[in-house]
Amino acid sequence: MIPHLTALENVMIAQYFHSIEDEKEAKEALVHVGMEHRLHHLPSQLSGGEQQRVCIARALINQPRIILADEPTGNLDKTNEEAVLDIFRKLHSEGRTIVIVTHNPEIGEIGDKIIQISHGEVKY
């Protein structure tokens, strides 16, 4: 996240690169991840879990069909980890493909397909 931008502005910055700036849509993305109450807060005013949800909203703003998530819960407590995973479950139920890279085998178990890489060997 960009430290001097609010949560809303951090989501809108992703629109900028697509020549779009739609505050309403950015707010809806933040509502989608349960962050409607923190729209005007800076990253330093957000918890780690809240920052992660803002980043998910920013990733979703341009409606990608595939979401790549590298250690999306790596620095989160159990409550925020579950909140992020619930968002991913909801997105998957809406037809999105989500690729999660993790060292946590419990998180890996939520996937429909699991591909493990161990000592350079790929296991399906």
- Give me the number of domains the chain comprises: 1
**pLDDT per residue over 12-41, tens digit each?**
999 887 777 789 999 999 998 999 999 999
CATH classification at residue 14: 3.40.50.300
Pairwise CA distance, residues 54 & 79, whole Å: 16
What is the per-residue pLDDT for 20?
Answer: 74
- Containing domain of residue 74, as a range? 7-123
pTM (two decimals): 0.80
Q: Is 2 within a domain?
A: no
Q: Is 1 within a domain?
A: no
pLDDT band at residue 9, thresholds of 50, 70 and 90? very high
